[in-house]
Amino acid sequence: MWFALYLVLALPLLWLAYLELKSLRRRRVLNKFKGPKVLPVVGNAHQLGRTPPEILGQMFEWWYQHDKDNFRYWIGYYPNLMVTRTKYFEFILSSQTLISKAEVYSLMQPWLGLGLLTSTGSKWHKHRKMITPSFHFNVLQDFHEVMNEKSTKFIKHLKNVSGGGSIFDFQEQAHFLTLDIICETAMGVSINAMENQDSELVQAFKDMCYNIKVRTFSSWKRNPTLYQFASDYPAYCKTLKTLQDFTHDVIEKRLNAHKEGTVLASHGDEFSRKKMVFLDTLLSATVDGRPLTSQELYEEVSTFIFAGHDTTTSAISFALYLVSRHQDEQRKLFEEQREVMGDSGLDREATFQEISEMKYLDLFIKEAQRVYPSVPFVGRYTEKDYVIDGDLVPKGTTLHMGIFMLGYDDRVFKEPHKFRPQRFEEEKPGPFEYVPFSAGPRNCIGQKFALLEIKTVVSKIIRHFEVLPALDELASKDGYIRTTLGLPPTEKRKRDLQQHKYDPILLVAMSLKSENGIYLRLKERF
């Protein structure tokens, strides 16, 4: 009896001793890196902050305190290295072997399976090669028609939402638009999210993105076994099933249409487009000389949908936010629209060629991605020891590539809090100093698609509306943004007290979001 009691009491201690011993070498090696003081058992978990915006603020503070260099921190026994040194970016992003993703990506696996974003090793290599032609120039032109068609609808939708100059949450509306674009281009189906905002399917996409955000920041909900006991678990399963059923159903119908040879013909309302969609290229592709299995098709289509709409929602929303706050920039953008489209062509759809002629818009989006990168961090996991820039990085370390910090590094970008698109014309950053779409073999496969979509939507909105801040007094008078990340910590705290309720509160849950929405006003130009 006593023995059993001692054993029960001793087990947790033995377990901790085992973890301590196991991480001894990693601790010794990683202690050579700068970083906050580490406590036994918890590591630095107690310093991280309680809310997602607080965690982001803490990461920037540590970065500032450690000479804007890499720094390490521990979450319990899990070692993390925040990577902000360019040499590290170069090594990691160029590596053909350091391609395994951080543990947080596994939160997406029940939905996305092992698609291009989450897979590794030979599966990733083969699928990457197979999917690359899906973003060929000709295919993009087809996709552009969809982008134009949906953004024309979006303009009408915005006229209703913003009627009478009312203040509204643009981020919420942008999500419906990007969903419509991605479902049509990925699968050839119109889900009409803009009109059916409350439908089960549209709600399921929204809920799944929200679920990923919540679980990213909850140490116990991140664990798949423990999560089964959470009160929101049944709702999560229902959401997951809605998304899985929808995608499987579309794939099956498209597969049958392919077999019958009717897919490229006008065919009822579901497959009414004559254009090739992403799913069509997958259906005619092979891996190891065989067609893709239905699970593989599911994984890649779902990945395309997730990666292709969550990111562009962020990019379009923050771009429009910046347009609203920087009226001088808006004037330059509008002037360019008049030059490229002609005064009488402001309300027509821009061609592929015309979008490529909008040079100032290109600079503007580049600068928007510097200050508000849609994917602020990219996570990798070391499956073995690596020597990077002369430092030993031990096996089992999670690497967070701080794309966000790069944009606020004043050694590369002078006056980083000043929003100045021309800077990209005057001085080009080095190849690993500015990487919003990542770089190297695992870079964003959808980069061209994304830029085309963002430009098509932003160009159309500024031609139809004068974009205004939620309140006139919030317009920037000196070109500086109101975001305080990257400022010296004492100054940041002082400025944070002056934040307005309509200033975005930033958080990162895979992509960059504003916790309190992105509020602005629109005034119709004609």
Residue 204 near residue 502, CB atoms below 8 Å: no
**Whole-angstrom Cα distance, residue 301 to residue 231?**
30
Count the Cβ atoms, other than its own, within 10 Å of residue 216.
17
**Whole-angstrom Cα distance, residue 166 to residue 163?**
6
**Whole-angstrom Cα distance, residue 304 to residue 112?**
9
Tell me whether residue 250 or residue 468 sits nearer to ligand HEM (CB atom): 250
209 annotated to a ligand binding site: no
Q: Which residue has the tokens 């310093």?
A: 47
| Tokens describing residue 203 | 């709600």
**Whole-angstrom Cα distance, residue 121 to residue 402?**
24
Tell me whether residue 44 or residue 178 sits nearer to ligand HEM (CB atom): 178
| 3-class secondary structure, 83 | strand
Tell me whether residue 23 or residue 118 sits nearer to ligand HEM (CB atom): 118
Tell me whether residue 371 or residue 470 sits nearer to ligand HEM (CB atom): 371
Best CA proximity match to 511, nearest among 71, 126, 174: 174
Tell me the closest approach of the beta carbon of residue 380 to ligand HEM, in angstroms: 7
| 3-class secondary structure, 227 | helix
Residue 449 near residue 143, CB atoms below 8 Å: yes
Tell me the closest approach of the beta carbon of residue 475 to ligand HEM, in angstroms: 25
Tell me the closest approach of the beta carbon of residue 96 to ligand HEM, in angstroms: 12
Tell me whether residue 80 or residue 438 sits nearer to ligand HEM (CB atom): 438
DSSP secondary structure letter of residue 413: S
List all residues 6 or more positions away from 136 whose beta carbon is below 8 Å from its beta carbon: none
Tell me whether residue 79 or residue 446 sits nearer to ligand HEM (CB atom): 446
Binding site for ligand HEM (CB under 6 A): 101, 116-117, 128, 303-304, 307-308, 311-312, 315, 374-375, 378, 436-438, 442, 444-446, 449-450
Strands (E), 241-291: 286-287, 290-291
The enclosing H or E element of 522 equals strand 519-524
Tell me whether residue 30 or residue 117 sits nearer to ligand HEM (CB atom): 117
- HEC string of 7-18 equals HHHHHHHHHHHH
Tell me whether residue 128 or residue 248 sits nearer to ligand HEM (CB atom): 128
- How many helices, marked H, and strands, marked E, lie in the chain? 20, 13
Residue type, 382: T
Tell me whether residue 61 or residue 367 sits nearer to ligand HEM (CB atom): 367
Tell me whether residue 98 or residue 485 sits nearer to ligand HEM (CB atom): 98
Which residues share a beta bridge with 524? 465
**Whole-angstrom Cα distance, residue 335 to residue 463?**
10
Tell me the closest approach of the beta carbon of residue 155 to ligand HEM, in angstroms: 21
Q: How, if at all, do strands 286-287 and 78-83 pair? A: unpaired
Tell me the closest approach of the beta carbon of residue 401 to ligand HEM, in angstroms: 8
Tell me the closest approach of the beta carbon of residue 453 to ligand HEM, in angstroms: 6
**Whole-angstrom Cα distance, residue 304 to residue 117?**
9
Tell me whether residue 319 or residue 341 sits nearer to ligand HEM (CB atom): 319
Residues shown for the chain: 526
| Tokens describing residue 328 | 């001088």
Tell me whether residue 162 or residue 303 sits nearer to ligand HEM (CB atom): 303
**Whole-angstrom Cα distance, residue 296 to residue 320?**
36
Q: Which of 182-185's residues contact partners 24+ apart within 8 Å by CB, and which partners? A: 182/304, 182/305, 182/308, 182/309, 182/312, 183/305, 184/146, 184/150, 184/273, 184/277, 185/143, 185/146, 185/147, 185/277, 185/278, 185/308, 185/449
> Phi/psi of residue 291, each to 5°?
-65, 160
DSSP secondary structure letter of residue 472: G
Residue 457 near residue 151, CB atoms below 8 Å: yes
Tell me the closest approach of the beta carbon of residue 379 to ligand HEM, in angstroms: 6
Binding site residues, as ranges?
Answer: 444
Binding site residues for heme, as ranges?
Answer: 444
